Amino acid sequence: MEQAPCISQIASLLAEPKRTAMLWALMDGSAKSSQELATLTGLSPASANAHLARLTGGGLLRVEARRGKRLFRVAAADVSTAIDALASTTMASAARSSPQASPLTLAAPAPLRHARLCHGHLGGELAAQLYQRMIAAGWIERHELRTQVTVKGAQHLAGLGIFTQALALPLVCDCFDWSQQQPHLGGALGAGLLQLFLQSNWIRAVNESRALLVSDTGLAEITRLAVPDAL
């Protein structure tokens, strides 16, 4: 056991609800002052500063000086990845432990709900809506627990420069979206679509956040994909 990674220090930092609330508020890539974070979490300024000192000392947050103010931001992309994974695990474990209960909802910052990175593909509202359009348009279809690309879908995707026969396996799979309570597209095709969107400058990353910024052109182009007029 001496070789086991020492994760208890980070786990203890995340075990305090007020500290996780602070991290959650910064998941959209924003930088906030201690006063803002104190207000968001219902803490006194002194308590907020104490928690922020621990998060900063633990390497989860970093401090920026801007116009005489000290602002706090997620320290690196791996922190956002870990928090996002914990959100997914929270949803999944709640469903396993209480399968008959109403699905748990997590209130996330709006940019994170709209579009975000998820295991190398697009997640969030934009991705969930695209998934539903692709099913309705006959680009993909589901058989019990299996999702696959149709011949029609492969033809349309080739027109976008995505050749499904050249992609790795698994080609496509459902990825449950914790913010939307429905699936979006995972697998190599999900990753290929994300790369298309990034290379087309339709979306771009936001600092160390999992959130993705969608341009007006990008929103129009992605929304146009797999609509009935495009069949």
Both 221 and 144 in one domain: the answer is yes
Q: Cα–Cα distance between 125 and 177 in angstroms, integer?
A: 9
pLDDT tops 60 at residue 144:
yes
Both 125 and 193 in one domain: the answer is yes
- Please name the residues in contact with 106: beta carbons below 8 A apart, sequence gap of 6 or more: 87, 90, 91, 178, 179
- Domain limits for position 208: 110-230
Higher-confidence residue: 57 or 87? 57
Q: Average model confidence (pLDDT) for the chain? A: 91
pLDDT of residue 145: 79
Whole-model pTM above 0.85? no
pLDDT tops 80 at residue 208:
no
Both 35 and 144 in one domain: the answer is no
Both 118 and 209 in one domain: the answer is yes
Q: Give me the mean pLDDT over the 187-194 stretch.
A: 97
- Which band of pLDDT confidence, cut at 50, 70 and 90, is reported for residue 108? confident
Residue 88 lies in a domain: no
pLDDT of residue 89: 87
pLDDT of residue 60: 96
Both 118 and 221 in one domain: the answer is yes
Both 58 and 166 in one domain: the answer is no
pLDDT digits (tens, 9 = 90+) for 19-54: 999 999 999 889 999 999 999 999 999 999 999 999
Both 65 and 164 in one domain: the answer is no
Both 71 and 114 in one domain: the answer is no
The residue among 19, 54, 75 that closes a domain is 75
Higher-confidence residue: 228 or 71? 71
The residue among 30, 60, 75 that closes a domain is 75
Q: Say which amino acid occupies 79.
A: V
List for the chain the helix, strand, coil content (%; round to 5): 50, 20, 30
Both 116 and 181 in one domain: the answer is yes
First to last CA, the chain: 57
Both 118 and 165 in one domain: the answer is yes
Higher-confidence residue: 77 or 103? 77
- Which band of pLDDT confidence, cut at 50, 70 and 90, is reported for residue 178? confident
Q: Cα–Cα distance between 178 and 200 in angstroms, integer?
A: 27
Count: domains in the chain: 2
The residue among 60, 75, 90 that closes a domain is 75
Which of 178, 193, 200 lies closest to 226 in space, CA to CA? 193
Residue 83 lies in a domain: no
